[in-house]
């Protein structure tokens, strides 16, 4: 029998990739690099220097835009350039005194004489009572004249019902109030005369007058009247005002 010839042995020319073994590292080795933000002008004095430089920098800005962003500057500019109406006569200056000033007793004695009360040691003492001063007011359009008491210690203007009935003007009874005196006595008003015109000699003025049932005066002009008239009164040792 014929034996087959064995095939010649040969190497496969196809290349084979060789993969090297990978070395494993601990997980912490990947996080060894740390990062942070860096700013060249970082420092405690840098922000202050930058702000001062910004504030001192000049910029070109139209005046109308300056008025728009600075209302106070606009107001000052308008006050300086606006024409104003001023009085041409001399105005008397009134000074406010916050402390009581003493007077020369001898001078007071010479001026007021018997109107002044003195104690045994020569000191000037106050009277027990002094009458309140009165002024007259006319009701325009009528022949009614009202004798009015000046009392700066009262808060409202008051008249009794009898005087209101003589005037004959409508009374608003829906505006009632309770008056309390210094001795804690209370009186309820009947109503109010709104915008009552009275003439004290310098033209009519309008007052809000509370009406009560009974009173021992015709009309009481209070602190409201003095403020309305911008009145300044001088009081003297003899009670004259």
Q: What's the CATH superfamily of 134-228?
A: Acid Proteases (2.40.70.10)
Question: How many C-beta neighbours within 10 Å does residue 102 have?
Answer: 5
Highest mean pLDDT among 4-8, 25-29, 43-47: 43-47
Is the pLDDT reported for residue 18 higher than 80? no
Q: What are the φ/ψ torsions at residue 2 (nearest 5 degrees)? A: -95, 125
Indicate the pTM of the whole model: 0.48
Question: How many C-beta neighbours within 10 Å does residue 32 have?
Answer: 6
pLDDT of residue 65: 82
48's tokens = 């202050």
Is the pLDDT reported for residue 129 higher than 60? yes
Higher pLDDT, 175 or 95: 175
pLDDT of residue 224: 84
Q: Tokens 């006569």 appear where?
A: 89
Lowest mean pLDDT among 44-58, 73-87, 143-157: 73-87
First to last CA, the chain: 169
Query: Rounded mean pLDDT of 151-173?
Result: 87
54's tokens = 């910004």
3-class secondary-structure state, position 22: coil
**Using CA atoms in the order 42, 47, 53, 59, what is the torsion angle rounded to 10 degrees?**
110
Query: Rounded mean pLDDT of 39-50?
Result: 73
**DSSP conformation class of 7:** P
- Alpha helices per DSSP H over the chain: 46-55, 63-69, 71-81, 105-112, 161-167, 223-228
Residues 196, 169 contacting (CB under 8 angstroms): yes
Compute the distance between CA of residue 76 and CA of residue 61 in angstroms, rounded to an integer. Answer: 18
Q: Read off the pLDDT of residues 69-83 as tens digits, 9 standing for 90 and up.
A: 887 877 777 777 776
Compute the distance between CA of residue 107 and CA of residue 123 in angstroms, rounded to an integer. Answer: 13
pLDDT of residue 88: 58
Compute the distance between CA of residue 200 and CA of residue 138 in angstroms, rounded to an integer. Answer: 7
Lowest mean pLDDT among 71-85, 89-103, 114-128, 210-224: 89-103
- Sequence-distant (6+) residues with CB within 8 A of 147 are 134, 136, 217, 218, 219
Q: Read off the pLDDT of residues 168-205 as tens digits, 9 standing for 90 and up.
A: 888 888 777 777 776 777 778 888 888 889 988 888 88
**Using CA atoms in the order 116, 122, 126, 131, what is the torsion angle rounded to 10 degrees?**
-10
**DSSP conformation class of 226:** H
Is the pLDDT reported for residue 41 higher than 70? no
Whose CA is closest to 116, among 126, 104, 130? 126
Is the pLDDT reported for residue 146 higher than 80? yes
Q: Domain coordinates of the chain in residue numbers?
A: 101-130, 134-228
């Amino acid at each position: 029998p014929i034996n087959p010839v064995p095939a010649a042995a040969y190497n496969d020319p196809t290349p084979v990739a060789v993969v090297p073994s990978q070395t494993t590292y601990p997980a912490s080795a990947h996080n060894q690099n740390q990062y942070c933000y860096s700013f060249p002008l970082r420092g405690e004095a840098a922000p202050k220097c930058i702000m001062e430089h910004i504030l001192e920098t000049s910029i070109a800005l139209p005046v109308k835009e300056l008025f728009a962003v600075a209302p106070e500057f606009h107001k000052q500019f308008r006050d300086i350039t606006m024409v104003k109406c001023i009085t041409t006569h001399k105005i008397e200056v009134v000074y406010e005194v916050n402390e009581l000033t003493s007077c020369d007793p001898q001078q007071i004695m010479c001026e007021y004489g018997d109107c002044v009360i003195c104690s045994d040691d020569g000191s000037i003492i106050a009277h027990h009572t002094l009458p309140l001063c009165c002024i007259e007011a006319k009701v325009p359009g009528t022949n009614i004249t009202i004798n009015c008491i000046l009392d700066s210690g009262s808060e409202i203007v008051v008249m009794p019902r009898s005087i209101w009935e003589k005037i004959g003007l409508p009374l608003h009874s829906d505006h009632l109030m309770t008056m309390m005196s210094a001795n804690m006595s209370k009186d309820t008003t009947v109503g109010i005369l709104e915008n009552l015109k009275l003439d004290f000699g310098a033209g009519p003025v309008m007052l809000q007058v509370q009406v009560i049932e009974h009173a021992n005066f015709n009309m009481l002009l209070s602190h409201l009247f003095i403020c309305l008239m911008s009145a300044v009164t001088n009081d003297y040792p003899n009670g004259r005002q």
